[in-house]
Amino acid sequence: MTDPTRIRNFSIIAHIDHGKSTLADRLLEYTGAVAERDMREQLLDTMDIERERGITIKANAVRLEYRAANGETYTLNLIDTPGHVDFSYEVSRSLDACEGALLLVDAAQGVEAQTLANAYLAIDNGLEIIPVVNKIDLPSAEPERVSAELLGILGGDPNDVIYVSAKSGTGIEQLLEAIVDRLPPPGGVAESPLRAMVFDSYYDTYRGVVCSIRVVDGEINSGEALRFMATDLSDAADEIGVLLPGATPVTRLGRGEVGYLITGVKEIDLIRVGDTVTDAATSADAPLPGYQEPKPMVFSGLFPADGDDFERLREALDKLRLNDSSLVYQPETSRALGFGFRCGFLGLLHMEIVRERLEREYDLDLVATAPSVEYRAHLTDGSTVQVRSPQDLPDAQVLADISEPFVKVMVITPSEYVGTVMELIQQRRGEMGEMTYLTPERVELHYQVPLAEIVFDFFDQLKSRTRGYASMDYEPGDYRRSDLVRVNILLNGVPVDAFSSIVHKERAYRYGRAMVERLRRLIPRQLFDVPVQAAVGSRIIARETIKAQRKDVTAKCYGGDITRKRKLLERQKEGKRRMKMVGQVEVPQEAFISALRIDE
């Protein structure tokens, strides 16, 4: 067990590519934790998709031993945080496990919204922040400007800023000294029943669920009977240990220490990030604050392109969930798409990651319906219904009104784009909040925007309209009543549930128009004219016609080559078999995918 006064728990808050991983590598190297070449593999999660996207989803913790200038040896626990807004709950739990954070900013880029959002989160959690300017070796580096930005946000003295080059190692020692000097040691009560927070968990095929924990009060001993307070699950601590960064079992973790815990639990569901572990015998009176149920924000129907794959999809989702307790799903039936699942995701990125993994790792061909948020339908009888799918919207006769989730959006942009950003926000039905000049050139803007307007292509639009200079972050806000309607799309008079959508009244026409035009292009001509209509209630707001097919014959002399001709016809037939029948209309898979693709 380590003397708590010699422990420093901290994480690194940084925008993607600002050098978090490189800095972590350097810290490991400097403190002699690992041989250089092993570092990346060790510290970061190795899932392909995460790597490709340049983010780490699952936080993790590494223990470093540092002999400081004062001659004492300190235990530094570097706790990794996920870098994306979709995972802000996980971020805040990881921050909860720390007393301090390094706010790392690229000297050539400056502060970005996500960094700032996480920095605010850290400040709100009472963390001590050390501003760090990285990449000072770059010719384009502007350390003074970036440092001024940081101080504008954090306040404090210019001398507080540490300048490093994670690449070359410049400034690493000053940084380690600052961690020891400026970050407080962990608090907590030693003589008290165990309370440890689970700040991360993942599923390992051999070991079952592995939790990352931070001991707040008391101590945890190997073999001890434990209780997870939120889920009221009891099990023994089969193994506890620390990551050096290789997993090293220990017999005990004391107050302020960080490590991993393995119990007999095999289902990730049963162990929740943010939960408190206590010892079953003496049991703490109350859990640590901050725990929340994982809350999906975005919903989408996932359907196997081939109806026969439904069971495979179920199995794949079950397997994915072992590793991702924030993924929720329940069976859903669509008239157009058959059997599938309505899935809830933390956000759009999460949704894409899940879909990609299902397709790539489980070899499934999926059709995903347009993402939707969770609306609340207020009925005339005073009751409220959750609406996660447009089909769930109650009939107009019983519907009083609808409210939708809003989010608090923060945008950081160069001041020249303020007008552009405001215009975009306005188009997205956003309400302007505070506006702060970080420096004369950079502005921090706050808005309330309907989540539905964000989940589509808001981020891409923001990026393209500001030439990539603006960055954004958002957090959940409240529900507000809005003038929303459901637009139904009818193919040959038959409503196609997969294409219907809840949209703001003023957007209904545009959505309907765009959809019918797209479908007319995407659906091949049939044996008869097929009307494609968009309707709100019984009112048709847009209409196109897919003209009947006129020619479907090989009008060519193909000599005696009957076999090839037959094979061609059979291949075409096979292609048709993969189409979905909507009423009498054959709709190719691609039509679903492309029509639901979000592009304006």
Partner 1 sequence: MSDPGALDAAAGERAAYIHIPFCHRRCPYCDFAVVDLGEQPTSFDRYITALEIEISMEPEWCPLKAVNLGGGTPSVLSPEQVGRVLRSLDDSFGLLPGAEVSIEANPEDWTEQHATELRRVGINRVSLGVQSFDPSVLASLGRVHDRATVVDAVRNAHRAGYDVVNLDLIFGTPVESMASWQDTVAAAIGLDPNHLSAYALTVELGTALSRAVRNGAPGPDEDDLADKYEHLVAAVGDRLAHYEVSNWAEPGRECRYNLTTWGQGEYLGFGLGAHGHRDGVRTRNVRRLDVYLRRIEEGVSPEAGREAMGEWERERERVYLGLRLRAGVETGEAGAALLASPAGQRLLAAGVVELHGDRLLVAQPLLTDAVAREVLALDPFD
Q: Please give the residue ranges that form the binding site for partner 1 (CB under 8 A).
A: 525, 527-528, 547, 549-557, 559-563, 566, 569-570, 572-573, 576-577, 584
Output b/e per residue, 87-97; b: 16+ Cβ within 10 A: bbbbbbbbbbb
CA distances from 262 to 26, 206, 277 (A): 29, 11, 12
The distance of closest approach from Cβ of residue 392 to ligand GDP in the complex, given in angstroms and rounded to an integer, is: 39
- How large is the angle between the packed helices 310-323 and 348-361, nearest 10 degrees? 120
The distance of closest approach from Cβ of residue 22 to ligand GDP in the complex, given in angstroms and rounded to an integer, is: 3
Half-sphere exposure of 463 (CA within 13 A, CB side): 8
Residue 539 vs 556, nearer CB to ligand SAM: 556
The distance of closest approach from Cβ of residue 379 to partner 1 in the complex, given in angstroms and rounded to an integer, is: 41
Residue 116 vs 485, nearer CB to ligand GDP: 116
Please name which of 231, 223, 221 lies closest in space to residue 263, comparing C-alpha atoms: 223
Q: How many residues are there in the chain? A: 600
Residue 437 vs 528, nearer CB to partner 1: 528
Binding characters for ligand SAM, 497-536, by CB under 6 A (x = yes): ----------------------------------------
CB atoms near residue 527 (< 10 Å): 11
Q: Which does 212 bind (CB under 5 to 8 A by kind): partner 1, ligand GDP, ligand SAM, none?
A: none
Q: Which does 584 bind (CB under 5 to 8 A by kind): partner 1, ligand GDP, ligand SAM, none?
A: partner 1
Residue 101 vs 194, nearer CB to ligand GDP: 101
Give me Rg for the CA atoms of the chain. 27
Q: Which does 21 bind (CB under 5 to 8 A by kind): ligand SAM, ligand GDP, partner 1, none?
A: ligand GDP
Please name which of 536, 532, 521 lies closest in space to residue 491, comparing C-alpha atoms: 532
Find where tokens 């569901």 sit: 269
The distance of closest approach from Cβ of residue 168 to ligand GDP in the complex, given in angstroms and rounded to an integer, is: 7
Residue 13 vs 229, nearer CB to ligand GDP: 13
The distance of closest approach from Cβ of residue 597 to partner 1 in the complex, given in angstroms and rounded to an integer, is: 23
Residue 557 vs 562, nearer CB to ligand SAM: 557
Count of residues that interact with ligand SAM, criterion CB under 6 A: 2
Please tell me the distance from the alpha carbon of residue 334 to that of residue 348, in angstroms, as a whole number: 22
The distance of closest approach from Cβ of residue 555 to ligand SAM in the complex, given in angstroms and rounded to an integer, is: 8
The distance of closest approach from Cβ of residue 591 to partner 1 in the complex, given in angstroms and rounded to an integer, is: 18
Half-sphere exposure of 458 (CA within 13 A, CB side): 29
Q: Which does 167 bind (CB under 5 to 8 A by kind): ligand GDP, ligand SAM, partner 1, none?
A: ligand GDP
Q: Which does 576 bind (CB under 5 to 8 A by kind): partner 1, ligand GDP, ligand SAM, none?
A: partner 1
Task: Say if CB 55 and CB 84 are below 8 A apart.
Answer: yes
What would the two tokens of residue 164 be? Answer: 């490093």
Alpha helix segments (H runs only) across 105-162: 113-124, 143-154
Residues 539-598 that bind ligand SAM (CB under 6 A): 556-557
Residue 561 vs 600, nearer CB to ligand SAM: 561
β-partners of residue 225 are 236
Residue 295 vs 547, nearer CB to partner 1: 547
Measured on CA atoms in the order 51, 55, 56, 57, is the torsion positive or negative? negative
For residue 463, give every residue at least 6 positions away whose Cβ sits within 8 Å of its Cβ, in sequence order, or none.
470
The distance of closest approach from Cβ of residue 526 to partner 1 in the complex, given in angstroms and rounded to an integer, is: 9
Please tell me the distance from the alpha carbon of residue 376 to that of residue 386, in angstroms, as a whole number: 5
Residue 20 vs 195, nearer CB to ligand GDP: 20
Residue 54 vs 156, nearer CB to ligand GDP: 54
Please tell me the distance from the alpha carbon of residue 504 to that of residue 453, in angstroms, as a whole number: 10
The distance of closest approach from Cβ of residue 111 to ligand GDP in the complex, given in angstroms and rounded to an integer, is: 14
CA distances from 83 to 87, 296, 327, 360, 456 (A): 8, 18, 18, 23, 20
Task: Say if CB 228 and CB 270 are below 8 A apart.
Answer: yes
The distance of closest approach from Cβ of residue 556 to ligand SAM in the complex, given in angstroms and rounded to an integer, is: 4
Q: Which does 65 bind (CB under 5 to 8 A by kind): ligand SAM, partner 1, ligand GDP, none?
A: none
Sequence-distant contacts of 328-332: CB under 8 A, at least 24 apart: 328/294, 328/296, 329/302, 332/301, 332/389
Q: Which does 551 bind (CB under 5 to 8 A by kind): ligand GDP, ligand SAM, partner 1, none?
A: partner 1
Q: Which does 527 bind (CB under 5 to 8 A by kind): partner 1, ligand SAM, ligand GDP, none?
A: partner 1
Q: Which residues bind ligand GDP (CB under 6 A)?
A: 14, 16-22, 54, 134-135, 137-138, 165-167
Phi, psi of 598 (to 5 degrees): -95, 105
β-partners of residue 227 are 234, 278
Q: Which does 573 bind (CB under 5 to 8 A by kind): partner 1, ligand SAM, ligand GDP, none?
A: partner 1
The distance of closest approach from Cβ of residue 558 to ligand SAM in the complex, given in angstroms and rounded to an integer, is: 9
The distance of closest approach from Cβ of residue 569 to ligand SAM in the complex, given in angstroms and rounded to an integer, is: 17
- How large is the angle between the packed helices 113-124 and 143-154, nearest 10 degrees? 40
Q: Is the peptide bond before 245 cis (omega within 30 degrees of 0)?
A: yes
Binding site for ligand SAM (CB under 6 A): 556-557
